Structure 1
Amino acid sequence: MGCQKEPSTQPSQEQSSDAMPVAPAVDEATVVNTSSGTVRGVVEGDVLAFKGIPYAQPPVGDLRWRAPQPISWQGEKSAAQYGNDCMQEPFPSDAAPLGTTPAEDCLVLNVWKQADSNDASLPVVVWIHGGGWVNGGSSPEVYDGSPFARKGVVFASINYRLGRFGFFAHPALTAAAEGPLANYGQMDQVAALKWIKDNAAAFGGDPNAITIMGESAGGFSVFNLMLIKESQGLFQQAIIMSGGGRGSNRGTRMLSEDQGDQISAEKVGLNFAEANGIEGTGPEALASLRALSAEDVTDGLSMTYLFAPPQGPITYGGGPIRDNNIITDATGARIARGEAAKVPVLIGTTSADIGFGVGDSKEELFAWFGDYADEARKAYDPEGDAPLPVLKMMVGADQFMTEPAHYAAREFTRFGQPVWLYRFSYVAESMLGEWQTGAPHATEIPYFLDTVTAKYGDDLTPKDAQAADLAINAFTNFIKTGNPNDAGSEAWPTYQGANGPLMDFTSEATAEVKDDPWQERLSIITKVENEKSADNQ
């Protein structure tokens, strides 16, 4: 596959035989033949953009709650505008507001490449957005791929089904036996990766030099893709931004079996059906579920819903489901068994990341540490005067994000994979008064993608821009070479053990290698987790 009307590189009568090939005319390069059909992109300055390319059939009607199906079309399809983001209730305070109206017909992807490049083997990066499995999309301005394209990288971003459209089970679906069950959003990601690998060369990319990159639920998705059999060989490197590393993001619910006090995903589906007046477990029930409007299936589901679920029976299972096919066990357990793809990994978190420390008192908060509670108090609250909300944030982030990133780095390293660990600590100067404890969850995205102008506009300062230059440079190096260092440099060493080292993208817009200064408190979480793992064996 390739760009339509590729210019000849044979010497003309006026050229010598060693003349350099001429780059394709921009208007010709905007037309690309893909395995699904022909698309026409648009010129955006020095970048070519191809937006809203379908990679699977619209998952509507009888294809709702089915694995993604191949798509093809005749003629030329415009790729000038984003397609719909996947159906959801937009999250009011989303750090990456959507640029399109959500809809069920949403299985599209976007590609950016340098306009004047005639290189046919550029490295490719695939961006997987976050949003707790219920929000997000590929259209936000802060996910624009132009900065990477200007640096000689083909940047792709994808949509995948969310909420009840993406992660849903019901006995009627199981009985219908229409294919893989439950994790439709994760299946979408695999299908999109297959499409990108098949068509990378058409956009000037190298199908054997693909990096997958995701943040939050996107980071959890990268872990899953490293573990899913069907996605092996579709990528060669991985970047995991605030993606945990031990458990799945609300993804431990079993498909058909209750687990302790946690009901199965099928029972959650039955609750949802009953809430909509649908009874039974046969074909009629499935037809009625598929006849529900997209708005009825969404039913207000968003990040707000997750943090404050309504009273009554549970009607949403919370993300990926343990189906014994795609998701077979907890992430950390599978990594420890060496099941993950053996690829270079860049992994990290923010300095004030997200977490869910629980308890209405310090006693309740530290009770999680069991026999190590006193040790945890000394590490987190040595003077005993730390406010409870601050402690809950610190402990929760360490449990959910920071320590699991170290754990994953240790396990990958044990299996011979090169791993680089980072912490992002920079706070935009305009936000210093509001974000006093450090860089909150997701605030690193516009720096590593160098979309800080879209994020901060007139409030952007030279120091902010400097932080973005450092961040995207490290990511670009990794995407191009499998190593975040500049050529000839070894300034950022690979991960070596519990202390790191890690690269801190500091509050001063510098990048400094150091042993992890939080290792004392993180080591206590590691001891608790190790004992839990031993008890479960």
Structure 2
Amino acid sequence: MPIRTLLRVAVIAFASAPLLAAPPASPNPVVSIESGTIQGTLENHLLAFKGIPYAAPPIGDLRWRPPQPAPRWTGTRPATSFGHDCMQLPAPSEAAPAGTTSPSEDCLVLNVWTPANAAHKHLPVMVWIYGGGFVNGSTSTPIYNGASFARDGVVFVSFNYRLGRFGFFAHPALSRAAGSEPLGNYGYMDQIDALRWVQRNIAAFGGDPRNVTIFGESAGGSSVQMLLASPASDGLFQKAIIQSGGGRDSAHPRHVLEADTKPGDPPSGESLGLTFAKSKGITGDDATTLARLRALPADVLVGGNNILTRRVDPSLNATFPGPMVDGHIVVETSEAAYRAAHQKKIPLIIGANDNDLAYYTGDTVDALLAPFGAAREQARAVYDPDHTNDVHTVGLRVAADRAEIEPARFVARLLTQQDQPVYLFRFSYVAASMRSEWPGATHASEVPYVFETLKARYPSTITPHDESIANLTHAYWVNFAKTGNPNGDHLPHWPLFTPSPDQIFNITDQGAILEPDPFKARLDLTEQSH
């Protein structure tokens, strides 16, 4: 067997002729769902329905409550434009910035793209979960347009979920009032509720509720990991894709309740909620306290939750817990679930980018290599082989490996040992226009290739080779959604992951390459340091 197997890039055309050859659909497509009748739009043989409420607006007394049923309506409701993004401080430098629609607490809506005349087709369904550090993100950004999936015979769904302190918040006053309701992870509750909506309604759009693939990137990938492990999501999907979603516990898990914490654990969600409330002059833990918290203006709650300001000033995390172990939705961390084989045993794609999430702390190479302990000098040899002592370059490599690349390999190895079908990937392709700026594929840069929305990311600089890589990447994702296997005619073969030999399926400038993992030495040291 050759040391390096180079597989050619192929641009494939899906066998969607029966869908495209169907008689033209009505210019005013109408669908009936559980809440009422909606009217979408028709364009290029595809139907789009936007801004569909899947739950009641989480405002007033519904702030920090599990999602409640969407109100019904009479007549035909327009579904021709996106609903509000969930409340956040947009971060324009994000790879898929929010801000297309104005943010609001009234944001629990979803969108559906489907082929025209798809009713009764029983098509595969893909459900997208956006990233953004659980404080940013939306479905309205053009990069997340689902038209290419619908074009290729998939019913595509995207939904908004609550972010920041609206989506992840705990306080003793909430705990006292909740009764048996789950606490803390309201954004996760939204995700599960949206998936339940899909089960109840997607057949009206031509989708098969028994063939649902969830996929997400960054915080969305972490969400997919949570959903794999959560008993609350049982039966809601049959396949999953994790893009740069981590997979290891970086610290002891934070718990919602003060009583759940042990010495050495991070502060509980409740304790952070108390700190936030006190900063706004609110004390106590009774019904009056809760009413005062729910009466706080949205702009007050969102303060400090911009993903960029939190990176610059980590002290802002002292009042924002993020996802927590709550005992209902999250009963254990993803890593703990995988080690105990508690996750759903379904086909999985998992991977990361070669220059992935690269936020590091440390102003010297020695500080960056400190986590490697006694293997510090070995780490120096693989992370700085040319002895540049370049803090930035070494920091990027160490951070990417620890946060995303090694955890993806770890999850793939562990689940493969449990006979779960896993396809591991690395995305290393850099758009031609960015090669002078990026040393590799940055965090989230694979997303417009998966979605075939390069024009939204690089409006005037796309090359034919860029487009061919988008065709290739998108095809793998679509094939996986249809069959649980990413392979198809004219595509370079992507084998199931096996831990030995250490090979990686790498999407590069040369196409899709199955090769010995060039990061093996780095990842082995990172694995030892966890």
In structure 2, the residue matched to 1:104 is 105
Q: What amino acid is aligned across from residue 133 of structure 2 in structure 1?
A: G
Q: What amino acid is aligned across from residue 369 of structure 2 in structure 1?
A: F
- What secondary structure, in the 3-state scheme, does the structure 2 residue paired with 1:213 have? strand
In structure 1, the residue matched to 2:138 is 137
In structure 2, the residue matched to 1:389 is 392
Cα distance, 1:183–1:410 mapped onto 2, change above 3 Å = same
Shift of 1:310: 6.9
- What secondary structure, in the 3-state scheme, does the structure 1 residue paired with 2:468 have? helix
Q: For residues 501 and 401 of structure 2, what CA distance do their matches in structure 1 show?
A: 14
In structure 2, the residue matched to 1:90 is 90
- What secondary structure, in the 3-state scheme, does the structure 1 residue paired with 2:165 have? helix
The counterpart of 2:225, out of the listed 200, 223, 226, is 223
Q: For residues 490 and 444 of structure 2, what CA distance do their matches in structure 1 show?
A: 31
Shift of 1:23: 5.1
Greater Cα shift, 157-166 or 28-37: 28-37
Shift of 1:305: 2.3
Q: For residues 501 and 381 of structure 2, what CA distance do their matches in structure 1 show?
A: 19
Does residue 1:309 correspond to 2:313, yes or no?
yes
The counterpart of 2:270, out of the listed 263, 266, 269, is 266
Shift of 1:307: 0.1
Shift of 1:70: 1.1
- What secondary structure, in the 3-state scheme, does the structure 1 residue paired with 2:127 have? strand
The counterpart of 2:298, out of the listed 282, 294, 301, is 294
1:33-71 Cα offsets, whole Å, 9 max, x none, are: 112222111112221000010110000000000000112
Q: For residues 118 and 313 of structure 1, what CA distance do their matches in structure 2 show?
A: 47
In structure 2, the residue matched to 1:33 is 32
User: Is the 8 Å Cα contact of residues 52 and 79 (structure 2) preserved in structure 1?
Assistant: yes
User: Is the 8 Å Cα contact of residues 56 and 70 (structure 1) preserved in structure 2?
Assistant: yes
Q: For residues 300 and 101 of structure 1, what CA distance do their matches in structure 2 show?
A: 18
In structure 2, the residue matched to 1:9 is none
User: Larger relative contact order (C-alpha < 8 A, sep ≥ 6)?
Assistant: 2
The counterpart of 1:480, out of the listed 479, 482, 485, is 482
Map 1:422-461 onto structure 2 (within 5 A).
Answer: 422-435=425-438, 437-461=439-463
Greater Cα shift, 306-315 or 417-426: 306-315
Q: For residues 276 and 86 of structure 1, what CA distance do their matches in structure 2 show?
A: 22
Shift of 1:73: 1.2
Q: What amino acid is aligned across from residue 507 of structure 1 in structure 2?
A: D
Shift of 1:247: 2.1
In structure 1, the residue matched to 2:16 is none
Shift of 1:261: 6.5
1:293-333 Cα offsets, whole Å, 9 max, x none, are: 1111111421112202375882212x201222222333212
In structure 2, the residue matched to 1:79 is 79
Does residue 1:122 correspond to 2:126, yes or no?
no
- What secondary structure, in the 3-state scheme, does the structure 1 residue paired with 2:50 have? strand
Q: For residues 289 and 330 of structure 2, what CA distance do their matches in structure 1 show?
A: 26
Does residue 1:203 correspond to 2:205, yes or no?
yes
Q: What amino acid is aligned across from residue 152 of structure 1 in structure 2?
A: G
Q: For residues 197 and 124 of structure 2, what CA distance do their matches in structure 1 show?
A: 16
Q: For residues 117 and 285 of structure 2, what CA distance do their matches in structure 1 show?
A: 57
In structure 1, the residue matched to 2:53 is 54
Cα distance, 1:310–1:522 mapped onto 2, change above 3 Å = closer
In structure 1, the residue matched to 2:326 is 323
Shift of 1:498: 5.7
- What secondary structure, in the 3-state scheme, does the structure 1 residue paired with 2:336 have? helix
Q: For residues 491 and 78 of structure 2, what CA distance do their matches in structure 1 show?
A: 43
In structure 2, the residue matched to 1:354 is 357
Q: For residues 29 and 62 of structure 2, what CA distance do their matches in structure 1 show?
A: 31
Q: For residues 490 and 431 of structure 1, what CA distance do their matches in structure 2 show?
A: 25
In structure 2, the residue matched to 1:338 is 341
TM-score, structure 1 normalization? 0.90
Cα distance, 1:28–1:433 mapped onto 2, change above 3 Å = closer
Unaligned runs of 5+ in 2: 1-18
Q: What amino acid is aligned across from residue 203 of structure 2 in structure 1?
A: A
Greater Cα shift, 223-232 or 513-522: 513-522
Greater Cα shift, 444-453 or 321-330: 321-330
Percentage of pairs with the same residue: 47
Q: State the superposition RMSD in angstroms.
A: 2.0
Q: For residues 480 and 519 of structure 1, what CA distance do their matches in structure 2 show?
A: 32
Q: For residues 388 and 284 of structure 2, what CA distance do their matches in structure 1 show?
A: 56
Q: What amino acid is aligned across from residue 391 of structure 2 in structure 1?
A: L
Q: For residues 368 and 113 of structure 1, what CA distance do their matches in structure 2 show?
A: 48
Q: For residues 92 and 491 of structure 2, what CA distance do their matches in structure 1 show?
A: 43
Greater Cα shift, 57-66 or 496-505: 496-505
Cα distance, 1:291–1:432 mapped onto 2, change above 3 Å = same
Cα distance, 1:478–1:312 mapped onto 2, change above 3 Å = closer
In structure 2, the residue matched to 1:161 is 162
User: Is the 8 Å Cα contact of residues 251 and 320 (structure 1) preserved in structure 2?
Assistant: no
User: Is the 8 Å Cα contact of residues 87 and 105 (structure 2) preserved in structure 1?
Assistant: yes
Q: For residues 208 and 385 of structure 1, what CA distance do their matches in structure 2 show?
A: 54
